[in-house]
Amino acid sequence: MAWENHTLSSNFILLGIFDHSPTHIFLFSLVLGIFTVAFMGNTIMVLLIYLDTQLHTPMYLLLSQLSLMDLMLICTTVPKMTFNYLSGKKSISLAGCGTQIFLYVSLLGSECFLLAAMAYDRYVAICHPLRYSVLMSHKICCLVTVSSWVVGSFDGIIVITVALSFPYCGSREIPHFFCDVPALLTLSCTNTLLFERLMFICCVIMLLFPVAVIIASYVHVIMAVIRMGSGEGRRKAFATCSSHLMVVGMYYGAAMFIYMRPVSDRSPTQDKMVSAFYTILTPMLNPLIYSLRNKEVARAFMKVLGRGKSGE
């Protein structure tokens, strides 16, 4: 009953990230522009890979899942933030808050393991090209993809179950633009130290284990590339690896900064800036860095455009 009185009696208030000053209006417009590019870029990637049978390979299947995760991630936070900013209403229900927490925690966890799978795919393709069809078969690729979604969802269930079991009293104001667990914990009436330690352990598993797989994969890839006799092959391999490592560095660096620090060391302003980076900016950069500059993707895009023109 006390839990109901404290937690269910009223909505939470999202303080947001922008006010209505000219500078913040410009920044809000910039965020909407980034959201539009991210939404369109990731949607195009998912549709192209689905429609073009020549892209039905393990690498592009993983890329399509990355785009789908990014699409869902950016739609989890930005539409609600936009509605609150334009309407002047800052409230979010407990159910809405719980939905946001579950979705972004699940998606972040799934993407961590998917990026590790993508690194392994590049390792097999470059270091063991003759065995690629065996080591990265369609069945194995589907198994890895499904496992990424399942592990991420399991992490989301654990976090949302524990986070919403705490009583929240006093201030209902969350110093963030979406329901982020570390920001929500600051409103709890009880000691959340045990849960913070649980989150840290989850982060070690969800972040550091995939990072170890990625580092090991790319160490072998780089060594194989250096031994390549063809200058063109070396250039292509380095270009692919550098783009992948750029995304990995941005994504994992921001996630570790947010989730592997104690609540006492947090700054709301810093958390909001870094969260905006990996929940808004990274989903826009992923299709640009990974896919849209890829020749096969460009060919598929022109092919689909050609179909559209011939059908008119």
CA distance 307 to 171: 57
Query: How does pLDDT run across 171-186, given as a tens digit for each residue?
Result: 788 888 888 887 887 7
Query: How does pLDDT run across 241-253, given as a tens digit for each residue?
Result: 777 777 777 777 7
- Name residues whose C-beta falls within 8 Å of residue 213's C-beta, 6 or more positions apart in sequence: 116, 119, 120
Q: Quick one: angle between helices 231-259 and 268-276, nearest 10?
A: 150
**How is residue 181 written in tokens?**
């667990």
- What would the mean pLDDT of 18-28 be, rounded to a whole number? 86
- Name residues whose C-beta falls within 8 Å of residue 263's C-beta, 6 or more positions apart in sequence: 182, 185, 186, 192, 196
For the chain, the distance separating the N- and C-terminal CA atoms, rounded to the nearest angstrom, is: 63
pLDDT at residue 117, rounded to an integer:
92
Domains of the chain are 92-282 (1.20.1070.10)
Query: How does pLDDT run across 79-137, given as a tens digit for each residue?
Result: 998 998 888 888 888 888 889 999 988 998 899 899 899 889 989 988 888 899 898 98
